Structure 1
């Protein structure tokens, strides 16, 4: 996973956590749910990048 992708995913996760916390503190269920969705999207992207990295590792192992 590229460093830029990691930073983007971490930023999106942090943004989601902030939205969720703001939603909880203001009793805004919509904002809270939006924050949870942002976190889930960041997690999904991160897992996709990890899967891509694992595929590259397998490909590299067969090149030897």
Structure 2
């Protein structure tokens, strides 16, 4: 597992927490920010997967 995969997983998890907290608090802005963070994390993890697949 490379650095992009680890950071992507962390961003994805943090985004899930932020999105859920916004949902529970009724804060649409936090929900959207959480969704964006999740997407960023998934993209970063995908980049890491590509690096592993095709070499650095």
RMSD: 1.3
Residue 62 of structure 1: aligned partner: none
Structure 1 Cα separation of the partners of residues 53 and 6 of structure 2 = 19
Q: Structure 2, unaligned stretches of length 5 or more?
A: none
Residue 6 of structure 1: aligned partner: 5
Instruction: Please give the TM-score of this superposition, normalised by the length of structure 2.
Output: 0.83
Structure 2 Cα separation of the partners of residues 6 and 43 of structure 1 = 9
Structure 2 Cα separation of the partners of residues 52 and 7 of structure 1 = 13
Give a deviation string over 1:4-35, Cα, whole Å, max 9, x none: 43332221111101100011011111000000
Instruction: Please give the TM-score of this superposition, normalised by the length of structure 1.
Output: 0.74
Q: Structure 1, unaligned stretches of length 5 or more?
A: 57-64
Q: Does structure 1 residue 20 correspond to structure 2 residue 19?
A: yes
Aligned length: 55
Which one scores higher on RCO, CA 8 angstroms, separation ≥ 6?
2
Deviates more, 1:31-40 or 1:7-16: 7-16
